[in-house]
Chains A and B, each alone.
Chain A
Amino acid sequence: MARITTLSEAIAGAVRDGDTIALEGFTHLIPHAACHEIIRQGRKDLTLIRMTPDLVYDQMIGMGCVKKLVFSWGGNPGVGSLHRFRDAVENNWPHKLELEEHSHAAMANAYEAGASGLPCAIFRGYIGGDLPKVNPKIKRVTCPFTGEELAAIPSHRPDVAIIHAQRADRAGNVMIEGVLGVQKEAVLASKRSLVTVEEIVDELPERSLNAVVLPHWTVGNVVAVPGGAFPSYAQGYYPRNNSFYKAWDDIAKDRESFSAWMKTNVLDKGPEAFAQYARKHQAAAE
């Protein structure tokens, strides 16, 4: 049953040192505010699952929260490298980072299998390339009906899934619109979950009969954090801040400027700092 709470309480209750966690959102609705709160609470030895690590995992890796990364594409979209991710892999800074590397198809299938309660995901993939040589969890299975060889990997069953959505009602039913990514699957695959939302409303708005809604009894914690996906975006609320994604390249390039940015913008701030982004862009849209 969803608990409507504050971000610091929700993270303190749901995320423990050593947990396997998935912050999802495929470009859209990336839970930046929740990522910052995990960093502020100093969580350690985390195994992070995410298709595209993006800025959120770059920040958590650089701040030393992460033991292992399970991922499929670790770049800054349209810009270039994730420098903290690269520094960890290439130079072990701030410490060694274990990798479990997949393709997008594999990751998407593993979330879906997790949400389906299956132990593994089966799909047609990983043919001929080198990823199976460096990831021992990629296996082959034979279809019992046709004899076709298919790829199999374990399903994702995170301890905690964290996503951002546009809105929830007061019971904690969560509605997601736009690019959906794997958010629904991540929540349904996880033991615990936390959803930050732009707003909590009395009643979900008029919607398509097939709108994507996570019922309140599938969600652990719901927290209103306006602007909480910035510099990612929330369809209908504010656009992706592409200029910030470009600026991150310089901020994250060296360790000192990264650490200084994290102190000013994360360690010395709270979740309420995100509200300015929601407001600024709402004003711009009017």
Chain B
Amino acid sequence: MADYKPAEMMTVAAARSLKNDDICFVGIGQPSAACNLARLTHAPDITLIYESGTLATKPTVLPLSIGDGELCDTALTTVSVPEMFRYWLQGGRIKVGFLGGAQIDKFANLNTTVVGPYDKPKVRLPGGGGAPEIATSCGEIFIIMAQGKRSFVEKLDFVTSIGHVSGGDSRARLGVRTKGPTKLITDMAVWAPDPETKEMTVVSIHPGVTREQIQENTGWTVKFAASVAETPAPTAKELDVLRELHARTNKAHAAA
């Protein structure tokens, strides 16, 4: 078995969640790496959409920003940002949205706004960007985040975008008809919402990771599914394609 880093396992597990016929709203960073890894391996026809307006883009290197020229050059077409948010996102055309955040709670609500109080923050984070409406308008949401006690918290400092709100049917009671977070992929495990309570529950643990380690890196008492699988380790092909993608990307970003 090839050697790999936990972050690579996370990207590979996220990529495997995507299907060839998915239409996916892609964020910068980990989601972009996962979506393009899927496209370059098992899902060559996946439709990737970035909020800069690029529809069905096929970048050869990962973009540093959401609107790099590479995305536009390789897109089927590029629409304006108001059209992107009105027709395509709000119009319900996107099946899967990818999100990450600085903080997440057990119901997969996310904070990307502030650490500390809003008016006097300890850390001012970038803010929501597209997330508040991606979270409610995409058919379902995959979240990709590395685990840690400071990021997996009992209570968010600020709710930037909703997941399953306070659990149960609380999301539906707000009038939201989309599924919300159906997968949380971390560097340690894959989580999915409990069908009843909607609390995120560990369904698959990455090779070599223990339940204790997952608990140590989570700020609430972790629930494990009745039957927990072991995530298959990344294959040599998955690792090769991912590493080549990162190498091409680093070279391109340094040269510009």
A→B interface (CB under 8 Å)? 26-28, 51-52, 71-75, 77-79, 81-82, 85-86, 89-90, 101, 103-105, 108-109, 111-112, 123-131, 134, 148-149, 178-182, 184-185, 233, 235, 239-243, 245-246
- Residues in A with CB closer than 8 Å to B174 are 127-128
- Residues in B with CB closer than 8 Å to A112 are 82, 86
- Residues in B with CB closer than 8 Å to A184 are 80
Contact of B254 among A85, A130, A178, A243 (CB under 8 A): A243
**Interface residue B242 (Cβ < 8 Å from any Cβ of A):** no
Shortest distance between the CB of A116 and any CB in chain B (Å): 10
Tell me the complex Cα distance, A233–B176, Å: 38
Binding-face segment, B15-23, B117-125, B203-211: B117-125
Shortest distance between the CB of A88 and any CB in chain B (Å): 9
**Interface residue B226 (Cβ < 8 Å from any Cβ of A):** no
Tell me the complex Cα distance, A246–B65, Å: 11
Tell me the complex Cα distance, A86–B122, Å: 10
Contact A104 B80 (CB under 8 A): no
Most buried by A among B28, B54, B86: B86
**Interface residue B232 (Cβ < 8 Å from any Cβ of A):** no
Tell me the complex Cα distance, A6–B80, Å: 29
Contact A78 B65 (CB under 8 A): yes
Return the chain A residue nearest B254 by Cβ. Answer: A243
Contact A105 B124 (CB under 8 A): no
Contact of A233 among B69, B124, B125, B128 (CB under 8 A): B69
Contact of A182 among B81, B118, B131, B256 (CB under 8 A): B81
The contact string, 1 if C-beta is below 8 Å from chain A, for chain B 120-149, is: 011111111111110011000000000000
B→A interface (CB under 8 Å)? 28-29, 51-54, 63-69, 71-72, 78-82, 84-86, 89-90, 113, 118-119, 121-133, 136-137, 158-162, 165, 171, 174-176, 252-256
Tell me the complex Cα distance, A235–B63, Å: 15
Q: What 12 additional pairs, Cβ within 8 angstroms, besides A105-B85, A240-B69? A: A26-B66, A74-B124, A101-B128, A123-B86, A129-B162, A149-B175, A178-B69, A179-B69, A179-B71, A180-B79, A182-B80, A243-B255
Contact A131 B128 (CB under 8 A): yes
- Residues in A with CB closer than 8 Å to B123 are 86, 90
Tell me the complex Cα distance, A27–B84, Å: 15
Interchain residue pairs A-B with the least CB separation, the first 3: A27-B67, A75-B126, A77-B65
Contact A241 B256 (CB under 8 A): yes
Shortest distance between the CB of A25 and any CB in chain B (Å): 9
Contact B165 A128 (CB under 8 A): yes
Known contacts A129-B159, A239-B69: A108-B129 contact under CB 8 Å:
no
Tell me the complex Cα distance, A174–B108, Å: 45
Contact of A235 among B72, B118, B128 (CB under 8 A): B72
Tell me the complex Cα distance, A78–B32, Å: 11
